Amino acid sequence: MRYLCAPIQGFTDYVWRRAHASLFGGVERYYSPFLRIERGEMRKRDLADVNPVNNAGLTLVPQIIGCPPEQAQRLVLALRDMGYSEVDINMGCPYPPMALHHKGSGLIPHPAEVEALFSCLAGIDGVSYSIKMRLGWDEPRQWREIVPLFDILRPTQVTIHPRVGKQQYKGDLVMDEMDAAVELIRYPLVYNGDVTSLDAAVAIERRYPSLSAIMIGRGLVQNPAMLCPDKATPAAYRALHDEIYADYEARMNGGDKQLVIKMKALWEMYLPFAPKKQLKAVKKASNLDRYNAAVSALFAEMEGGLIGNEE
Ligand SMILES: Cc1cc2nc3c(=O)[nH]c(=O)nc-3n(C[C@H](O)[C@H](O)[C@H](O)COP(=O)(O)O)c2cc1C
């Protein structure tokens, strides 16, 4: 099976991607968190995130938010200028301020707007598209209405996270609609959602033998060795942490407080199976010295072989 790394805004930025690709791997392509126009401008940090120089050593497909055609066109042209020939269109973002403006998953119930977007993007030379979508915004059959529009764009793949936007990232997966999508969508299909182990990936592959790939997000942030169990060592987990730390430290230029905030954000998802007591100490660290001491204690405990055995 081909495995793709899903974008997780705030986690899978270029620093994480580079560290992941060099220390773990197992992923064929990485997808960037979505680029967007904010107050009429492209955000500098979005552009830095997809800058090819910052993504050396991995294959990146940049993603834009599904949005009004003129905004999407600007984003795609900027990406084409950077040398990208494939762009992923986000029709999955569940964040209400986006969705209520018919962006991300909020675009799905509006076929006329989807048609306008696809027609505009299909007219740009030299770029092909993939689509990453939910089943709908508030009803899991909404995707069906836009399937005929795929022919305008002829996507290289369609990734489905079988939930509706209103569910955010939890609640039951609507697998009978995924079953229907596998039957009805005539473009290479990718499954995404709640795959947090190799066994879970194999179960999806068995259920859908025709899949083109499986895309994994949170599972890889939680355990970057998920796809390469032979690399699941405390030393490798520490090395990924240290690469991220070093990069943020250099960029923050002495801003210790910011560095602690940024690193603690990683631990909101990283290594949930780490020893509980030490993990708690990392998350509570109030300054850089305490943070560093807590992280060292955590990895020492893991090295001691107590992974997940703490009460
Ligand atoms: C904090 C967070 C940020 C996310 N950011 C993006 C994003 O920028 N673009 C996108 O397509 N999906 C984004 N997602 C959704 C994931 O890519 C993925 O579709 C979803 O988490 C389900 O897959 P998983 O269970 O493997 O994580 C985000 C998810 C989370 C939890």
Any atom of ligand 1 within 6 Å of the Cβ of 94: no
Any atom of ligand 1 within 6 Å of the Cβ of 217: yes
Q: What would the mean pLDDT of 162-182 be, rounded to a whole number?
A: 98
Does 309 have pLDDT greater than 50? no
Model confidence band, residue 311 (pLDDT cutoffs 50, 70, 90) = very low
Percent of the chain with pLDDT over 90: 95
Model confidence band, residue 300 (pLDDT cutoffs 50, 70, 90) = very high
Domain parsing of the chain, residue ranges: 3-228, 233-303
Q: Quick one: which atom of ligand 1 is closest to the CA of 159?
A: 19
What is the chain's Cα-based Rg? 20
Does 278 have pLDDT greater than 90? yes
Model confidence band, residue 132 (pLDDT cutoffs 50, 70, 90) = very high
Q: What would the mean pLDDT of 155-170 be, rounded to a whole number?
A: 98
With the most atoms of ligand 1 within 8 angstroms of its CB, the residue from 3, 9, 60, 133 to mutate is: 9
Residues comprising the chain, all counted: 311
With the most atoms of ligand 1 within 8 angstroms of its CB, the residue from 14, 45, 168, 169 to mutate is: 169
The set of residues, in sequence order, having a beta carbon less than 8 Å from that of 240 and lying 6+ positions away, is 16, 19, 20, 23, 24, 224
Window from 37-46, 223-232, 265-274 with minimum mean pLDDT: 37-46
Q: Quick one: which atom of ligand 1 is closest to the CA of 220?
A: 26
Q: 231 and 24 in contact (C-beta within 8 Å)?
A: yes
CA angle 225, 229, 233 (to 5 degrees): 70
Any atom of ligand 1 within 6 Å of the Cβ of 96: no
Identify the residue whose C-alpha is closest to ligand 1 atom 8.
33
Model confidence band, residue 252 (pLDDT cutoffs 50, 70, 90) = confident
Number of Cβ atoms within 10 Å of the Cβ of 114? 24
Identify the residue whose C-alpha is closest to ligand 1 atom 2.
8
Identify the residue whose C-alpha is closest to ligand 1 atom 21.
217
3-228 CATH: 3.20.20.70
Does 254 have pLDDT greater than 90? no
Model confidence band, residue 136 (pLDDT cutoffs 50, 70, 90) = very high
Any atom of ligand 1 within 6 Å of the Cβ of 234: no
Tokens of 291: 């943070």
Window from 89-93, 227-231, 302-306 with minimum mean pLDDT: 302-306
Does 276 have pLDDT greater than 70? yes
Percent of the chain with pLDDT over 70: 98
Any atom of ligand 1 within 6 Å of the Cβ of 195: yes
Any atom of ligand 1 within 6 Å of the Cβ of 136: no
pLDDT tens digits for 34-84? Answer: 999 999 999 999 999 999 999 999 999 999 998 899 999 999 999 999 999
Between the CA of 309 and the centroid of ligand 1 the distance, in Å, is 29
Judged on CB neighbours under 10 Å (0-12, 13-18, 19+), 240 is buried
Taking the model in full, what pTM does it have?
Answer: 0.96
Give the count of alpha carbons within 13 A of 231, CB side only: 19
Any atom of ligand 1 within 6 Å of the Cβ of 173: no
Between the CA of 82 and the centroid of ligand 1 the distance, in Å, is 24
Q: What is the pLDDT of residue 308?
A: 47
Q: What would the mean pLDDT of 9-14 be, rounded to a whole number?
A: 97
